[in-house]
Amino acid sequence: MGFQEEINKRRTFGIISHPDAGKTTLTEKLLLFGGAIQEAGAVKSHKIKKAATSDFMEIERQRGISVSTSVLAFNYKEKKINILDTPGHKDFAEDTFRTLTAVDSVIVVIDVAKGVEEQTEKLVEVCRMREIPIIVFINKLDREGKDAFDLLDELEQKLKFKVCPLSFPIGMGYDFQGIYNIWEKNLMLFNADNKQKISKTIYINGLNDPKLIDHIGETASDNLKEEIEIIEEVYPNFNKDQYLSCKQQPVFFGSALNNFGVKELLDCFISIAPSPTKKESTLRIISPNESKFTGFIFKIHANMDPKHRDRLAFIKIVSGKFKRNMTYHHVRLNKKFKFSSPNAFFAEKKEIVNESYPGDIVGVHDSGNFKIGDAFSEGEDVFFKGIPNFSPEHFRYINNLDPMKSKQLAKGIVQLMDEGVAQLFILELNGRKVIGTVGALQFEVIQYRLEHEYGAKCSYENLNIHKACWVENQEGTKAEFNEFKKLKSKFLAKDKDGKLVFLSDSSFSLEMTKEKFPSINFHYKSEF
């Protein structure tokens, strides 16, 4: 198969949602349809009966939430599908934001009972900024929930979507009988006993086919005809160009836990979702079909297998062909690296790959050289945009509880920070280490992982910080900058890259500092 055909085969997408909307369950079921796993694990509220394939980390298994992005791949109908299952929990939103730099499209999962929730709104905003095409999957149809038309209205009002329903439920909750697939004009009947198997599709010749009444009854058949008539009048016909330019959002209904409506979603997805797209770099826009390899690290995961203490960096391939044992240029370090055992991920299994193409995600072993955002090329000094650190919202001093394990603690902190779990600030005044996180739950994850993966114990001490701002002194005089450093010395720190950061203790203090030193710029993210 030629290079261009390999690119056209690939679909790389992320699944995003508010926690508990069923995102990890949907990921499982997509793998089930792709034949990557034989039986799906049922993810329960805080107990996992059979650990979900995409939840790697022990703390995820205990709490029933995904706290790191999993990378999974499978083949389906001659397409190579790469899924990035992201954390839904708001405390891990930064990981999700970074993952969205590596996807070409997105599936948003909505809970039928809760509708559009806060975290979904934030994540959709990031997708809109990056113009990522979106498909909506309304999940848990076997439960009592909101009316289908009310949900479509909510998507339009809260998320500013221009929706286009491509499937529609027959009844809801206790009356739920199945789904009419508008996209393929067929019927799928719901069977609650079908959690582990795939439901059969019933082919009907349009809504006037007499078989429709035989399967769902006269009342449900009349209601469905009325509802489809409303859809045809009110909502636009599907337009692929509009979808790809993020101006129209197709909507599917189903129940991931019951394997229901997932095949319809997947079949439509592989035919309309984009193959790998162009990516903006500081030099130029890079197209996937360029012959020379470029790629960037969007995630680092330490200790994926604690027995082997391995640390993997995930590279999204942007252009060209990535080959095993080839030497590639690391832009930030200006060094050459050769990867003898690059990994691809097939459900929970890792396998060594010889060649990978644009859109693919490759895991490479990292001995501590790499950072999130690092770029690789065949010599060109490219640097890809849009992978910043954001200003944290929670800050604590980190203390060592076991002086005999100082080395392990230091190593653990550095590696976890490189993963992007949180951010490390070292105070200029006394060298104390401050951990900054987007959400409070991350402190628990850090503590747990330091102990279980590095054998180091830590405690935290509260610190009253309002905001971390990266400091840029572009037009300022040296005297003004020195005065700022002298006056604010106890609030200054360096991040892990050595950049100067101002840790303001209140919004008032920050505003006053901005007024007093107008030539100094304060940024809420590290990329400025």
Count CA atoms closer than 13 A to 259's CA, side-chain side.
20
Cα distances (Å, whole numbers) of residue 410 to 308, 368, 369, 402, 426: 19, 13, 16, 12, 12
Confidence at residue 521, expressed as pLDDT on a 0 to 100 scale: 87
For 395, the token pair is 């800050």
Residues with Cβ < 8 Å from 271, sequence gap 6 or more?
none
φ/ψ of 349, rounded to 5, equals: -90, 140
CA separation for the pair 236, 231 (Å, rounded): 8
β 79-85/70-76 pair status: antiparallel
Contact 253, 261 (CB under 8 A): yes
Confidence at residue 503, expressed as pLDDT on a 0 to 100 scale: 92
Contact 326, 315 (CB under 8 A): no
Residues with Cβ < 8 Å from 193, sequence gap 6 or more?
none
Q: Which of 184-198, 243-257, 347-361, 460-474 has the lowest mean pLDDT?
A: 184-198
Mean pLDDT over 25-51 rounds to 56
Torsion sign across C-alpha atoms 462, 463, 469, 474: negative
Contact 11, 82 (CB under 8 A): yes
Mean pLDDT over 106-110 rounds to 92
Cα distances (Å, whole numbers) of residue 119 to 80, 146, 384: 29, 19, 26
H-helix segments, 379-454: 406-419, 441-454
| Residue 309 binned pLDDT confidence (cut-offs 50, 70, 90) | low
Instruction: Specify the DSSP element, H or E, that contains 484.
Output: helix 478-487
User: Would you say residue 78 has pLDDT above 80?
Assistant: yes
Confidence at residue 435, expressed as pLDDT on a 0 to 100 scale: 93
Environment class of residue 1 by beta-carbon count within 10 Å: exposed (0-12), middle (13-18) or buried (19+)?
exposed
Average pLDDT of the residues of the chain:
81
Chain-centroid distance, C-alpha 192: 30
Mean pLDDT over 21-36 rounds to 76
Mean pLDDT over 198-215 rounds to 69
Confidence at residue 424, expressed as pLDDT on a 0 to 100 scale: 92
Confidence at residue 397, expressed as pLDDT on a 0 to 100 scale: 94
Mean pLDDT over 453-469 rounds to 90
58-75 residue pLDDT tens:
554 554 444 344 677 888
Give 271 or 369, the one with higher predicted confidence.
Answer: 271
Q: How many CB atoms lie within 10 A of CB 470?
A: 21
Confidence at residue 83, expressed as pLDDT on a 0 to 100 scale: 85
Please state at what angle helix 148-158 crosses helix 218-234, rounded to 10 degrees. Answer: 20
Confidence at residue 66, expressed as pLDDT on a 0 to 100 scale: 41
Give 199 or 180, the one with higher predicted confidence.
Answer: 180
Contact 397, 460 (CB under 8 A): yes
Confidence at residue 496, expressed as pLDDT on a 0 to 100 scale: 82
Highest mean pLDDT among 217-226, 328-337, 416-425, 446-455: 328-337
Confidence at residue 474, expressed as pLDDT on a 0 to 100 scale: 66
CA separation for the pair 378, 457 (Å, rounded): 42
pTM above threshold 0.85 = no
Domains delineated in the chain: 3-272 (3.40.50.300), 279-377 (3.40.50.300), 394-523 (3.30.70.3280)
CA angle 332, 337, 342 (to 5 degrees): 115
